[in-house]
Structure 1
Amino acid sequence: MQLPTVEELRLQCRIDIDDEDPLLLGYLTAAKEKASNYLNRNLYESDVPDGDNEGLIITPIIKLALMLAVGFWYDTRELKKVPQGFYDLLSDYRISLMRIKQC
């Protein structure tokens, strides 16, 4: 699955013009990084590269979490703590650090 498009982000944020596109794309980049850090996994839009055994293709639930974060940051205009729903959506895909250390 692909990252949310700028059009999808505009719908999420209820924006009718493209003036805010750079801001939305910046929030999307931050949301993807935040999700990847929380999951302890790299996120990919299509194929997971060889050698990245823990890599993950973006699923509809991950896409929704990214859109939730973008919408939250757009609404608050601050990069403060994302809502718990972001973590709830991602938690099924998370690799615990304890598991990584045991490998």
Structure 2
Amino acid sequence: MITAEQVKSQCRIDFDDEDGYLPLLVNAAISACLAYLNRPVFESEADLLAAISANPELDQSAMVVTHDIRMAMLITAAFLYENREGNTNLPLAATSLLRQHRKRPGV
């Protein structure tokens, strides 16, 4: 959904010392944002349709990733890069972008 190169650009990293760390940020940011959304999110319409075809019981709230979700993931990755320890909350800018797509538990 986002790449290490995109995170590198978002963080304005112009050296290679962090290249091994960036994939961890990518995975953590994606996981955090998807957990907040509380719904299945797919990379493309084709992926969504394939998932529905393979599993007709798939949550009806499933969706394709949007630009604002990708941006929230990049913001979260940059936040995790800058704050490597101690903060487990998503940044406010990310939650603002994600909120409109969030499936509330029980709804």
TM-score, normalised with respect to structure 1: 0.83
Q: CA RMSD in A?
A: 1.5
Distance 1:54 1:24 in 2: 30
Distance 2:40 2:7 in 1: 22
Deviates more, 1:65-74 or 1:76-85: 76-85
Aligned match of 2:16: 18
Post-superposition Cα deviations, 1:49-91, rounded to whole Å, max 9, x if no partner, equal 1132222211110000000000011012226122111111101
Counterpart secondary structure, 2:16:
coil
The Cα shift of 1:13 comes to 0.8
The Cα shift of 1:18 comes to 2.9
The one of 32, 36, 53 equivalent to 2:30 is: 32
The alignment-based identity, stated in percent, is 33
Instruction: Answer whether contact 1:43 1:57 (CA < 8 A) is retained.
Output: yes
Distance 1:42 1:22, change over 3 A: farther
Q: Aligned pair count?
A: 97
Distance 1:79 1:30, change over 3 A: farther
Counterpart secondary structure, 2:31:
helix
Structure 2 unaligned spans of 5+: none
The Cα shift of 1:5 comes to 2.2
Structure 2 letter corresponding to 1:72: F
The one of 95, 103, 106 equivalent to 1:98 is: 106
Distance 1:32 1:45 in 2: 12
Distance 1:20 1:79 in 2: 20
1:59 and 2:57 aligned? no
Counterpart secondary structure, 1:71:
helix
Distance 1:27 1:79 in 2: 15
Structure 1 unaligned spans of 5+: none
